[in-house]
Amino acid sequence: MCQNCNRNDIFFLKKKQNHTNQVNTKLNNTQLMQRIVNKTMALVASLGLLSSSAIAGEGASSDSSTFEDLWDIPHLYSNPDAFWLTDLKLVGRAQWQMADVSSDLPDYSTNEFRRMRLGSEAKILGGDYKVKAEFNIDHGSGNDHYSEEVYIQYGGDALPFKVTLGLQKPKWSYEWSTSSRKILTFERSQIVNQLAPKKTAGLNISGSIDAYDYSLGVYRGDTIHSSKGGAIFGDGDAAGEFMIGSIGSSYETAMFDSAEWRLDWLHNTDAASNAAKPYENSFSLNHSAKQGSWGLHTDLIHAQGDDGNDDKTAIVILPTYDLSDKLQLVARYTLANGDGLKANKRYESKSGAQDGDGYQSFYMGLNYYLNDHKLKLMTGIEYSDMDGGNDFDGYTLFSGLRFYF
């Protein structure tokens, strides 16, 4: 990457260099809008075809290619030679699932759209800037309509790192850092759900130095979801700030085809924050490795309690095995200790499980990838046991469909 330089000089220099090219390559406003409208209409019309193609399963390679080409429809515009608008696409996801909890407490069953989001993403100013806005339109519960992510990101050569400003997801731990589009289980582990921060407004820088990747972010301590009374970019009466610093590296050994590790540190300045959880310091040392058909993700987690909260310590182990190109076996073991452990909102607490001081769970599931994570069928079963409270002990059976573009 280049050394730091004056951003205004870079902007106007690039504008001057691209001026002649823009005149020859850019579409006029009428042509551009017509192209976007046509592609949007094609996307809507293709939803029925998407469902029938998925049911058809694996056919000839030409049919498979045609099916996968449907995901090109939301890509409304692309011109790498343009300056003002380089790329424009729709983004969204729909995740439907059903769950059935059986335990020594009253049983609980439900089906819901776990997530349904829609938005757009654009690259502008020669492609150096990315602008994204995505909104939640159904979250399986009340107060569903709010902003998920609204940010601008600079990734050009004028700086040796990326800069992201706005409403975003603070990344901490392996499971929480993995997008819900690509998580391997229906729900993240109990300890990650209890400790991970919520989406909020902030500033993040990320990049690489030699073999090491790094990330440093400062975030508002208030939640900004409009359904919860906040503005998109934070409330002036926010409860402090929190910071997350991460460092990690990828490597190869004789044992693994690929591997990477990362250390995440979350520091919360105010226990009253409702974006970060009431723990002064939360650490995650996570590792991912792949060898042939096998994969293994591990996470060692420790949180120092604040405002009367007990410390929490946990380990999460998530192995995978590829049975075929499309079928994957997934397992997960979670062990957590510390007074005040909370049962997972989905769906243990809904069956009556109370807080405790010791928790463990075993998950086993199968994922069938119709088009990688873009369209997949999932099924799984999880056994969980909470010591303390009302000593919850039960099984949750999951099944569902996940789709994104």
Whether residue 330 is contained in a domain is answered as yes
251-265 per-position pLDDT tens digit = 989 899 999 999 999
Angstrom distances, CA of residue 93 to CA of 110, 115, 285, 317, 324:
20, 7, 29, 27, 25
At 225 the pLDDT is 55
| 7 occurs within a structural domain | no
pLDDT range class, residue 16, cuts 50, 70, 90: very low
The structural domain count of the chain equals: 1
pLDDT > 60? residue 236: no
pLDDT over 80 at 346, yes or no? yes
Tell me if 73 sits within 8 A of 38, measured CB to CB. Answer: no
User: What's residue 95's pLDDT?
Assistant: 97
Q: Has residue 68 been placed in a domain? A: no
Average pLDDT over residues 206-219: 97
Query: What percent of the chain stands above pLDDT 70?
Result: 79
Asked, for residue 299, whether it belongs to a domain, the answer is: yes
Whether the predicted pLDDT of 200 surpasses 60: yes
Answer whether residue 67 is part of any domain: no
pLDDT tens across 34-81, in order?
Answer: 554 555 455 445 444 444 444 444 445 566 678 999 999 999 999 999
Tell me which of 61-70, 117-126, 199-208, 392-401 is least confident: 61-70
Structure tokens belonging to residue 165: 């400003």
What's the domain range around 352? 84-404
Among candidates 99, 115, 117, which has minimal Cα distance to 107?
99
Does any domain span residue 202? yes
Report if residue 45 sits inside a domain: no
4 pLDDT more than 60: no
pLDDT above 90: percentage of residues in the chain: 71
CA–CA distance, 201 with 224 (Å, rounded to integer): 7
| For range 161-182, the mean pLDDT | 97
What CATH number is given to the structural domain containing 377? 2.40.160.10
**Cα Rg of the chain (Å, integer):** 23
Least reliable range by pLDDT among 34-48, 271-285, 388-402 = 34-48
